[in-house]
Amino acid sequence: MSAATIDAPVAAPTHDGRIGPRANLRHISALARRNMLQIKADPESMFDAVLMPVIFILLFTYVFGGNIAGKGHEQEYVNYLVPGLMAMMGMNIAMAVGTGVNDDFKKGVMDRFRTMPIARSSVLIAKIVVEAGRMLVATSILLAMGFALGLTVHTSVLHLLAAVALAMAFGASLMWIFILLGLTMKTAQAVQGVAMLVLMPLQFGSSIFAPTTKMPGWLEGFTKYNPLSNLADAARNLINGGPVAHSVWMTLAWAAAITLVTAPLAVSKFRRKT
């Protein structure tokens, strides 16, 4: 065997030493399959995505619906509530990403990824892809329950799909926040605790469950800047009819800003830990 053969590298890297886009996509695809196989092996991990929308829509419709829309008018409240719950689904599903990342470090899964010649960002993006699929399942079940309770689309199917897409885009941006939390906090319980401190005021201090006009002035002011209110109002007007331009663009701006700020921080933190 010649010296040239011995000295030749086994696999030549790209000209700048980085993993190319095509290879990165393959890594994301492979890791996404791995995450989906985990769900298949543990179907209980889908309980939150399957049961949460059913419980929430029944609970809020029959507990708050009569008080907000008037007794006997719960069906009218469904058209107000469902678009708001679409915004809420994204936040609750996103929280699972942070706990999942934290748990993977505890189990040593990330130690195995450390030895593989893969892009570090592909591990996180694959998680977001799979969680976006879980979010789509939860949103589909929510809409199915909504239609069963009397939800009516006053615009068109395309507007309904646009509302779903907007909720998915915003939910995906939130996942970067929770990934960063999962990489920063020491335990999954700590991630859940901090997440709930963020989720509760954002969810209830918004237009998700009730109009904001009867709220105290200081709280009504907060709801105007709450991204969940923008998303809920955008989805609501896309489904029920009404002006959508401002709320849609504000939601997209929030999603873009959150991603641009937290995604690089999460990837950088992940690289340092692996």
| pLDDT for the residue numbered 222 | 87
User: 165: number of CA atoms within 13 Å, CB side?
Assistant: 9
| Structure-token match 């904001």, residue found | 212
H or E segment and range at residue 127: helix 120-148
What are the pLDDT tens digits along the chain (274 aa)? Answer: 443 333 333 333 444 446 667 777 887 888 888 888 888 888 887 888 889 999 999 988 888 777 776 666 667 789 999 999 998 888 888 888 888 888 877 777 766 766 676 777 788 888 899 999 999 999 999 999 999 998 999 999 999 999 999 999 999 999 999 999 988 888 888 888 888 888 888 888 898 988 888 788 888 888 888 999 999 999 999 999 989 999 999 999 999 999 999 999 988 888 887 6
d(CA 160, CA 177): 27
Q: Which of 233, 98, 122, 70 has its CA nearest to residue 175?
A: 98
Indicate the domain borders of the chain: 20-273
Instruction: Reduce the DSSP state of residue 10 to 3 states and report it.
Output: coil
H or E segment and range at residue 237: helix 227-240
| Structure-token match 């991204």, residue found | 227
| pLDDT for the residue numbered 172 | 92
d(CA 40, CA 46): 9
Burial group, residue 90, by CB count within 10 angstroms (0-12, 13-18, 19+)? buried
Q: What is the pLDDT of residues 54-65, one digit of tens each?
A: 999 998 888 877
| pLDDT for the residue numbered 1 | 42
Q: Which of 216, 180, 45 has its CA nearest to residue 102?
A: 180
- CA torsion 88→260→274→33, rounded to 10°? 50
Contact call for residues 62 and 78 (beta carbons, < 8 A): no
Q: How far is the first Cα of the chain from the last one, in angstroms, to the nearest whole number?
A: 37
Q: Which of 218, 246, 79, 262 has its CA nearest to residue 229?
A: 246
**How does DSSP assign 28-90, residue by residue?**
HHHHHHHHHHHHHH-GGGGHHHHHHHHHHHHHHHHHTHHHHH-TT-HHHHHHHHHHHHHHHHH
| pLDDT for the residue numbered 114 | 66
Q: What is the pLDDT of residues 115-173, one digit of tens each?
A: 676 777 788 888 899 999 999 999 999 999 999 998 999 999 999 999 999 999 999 99
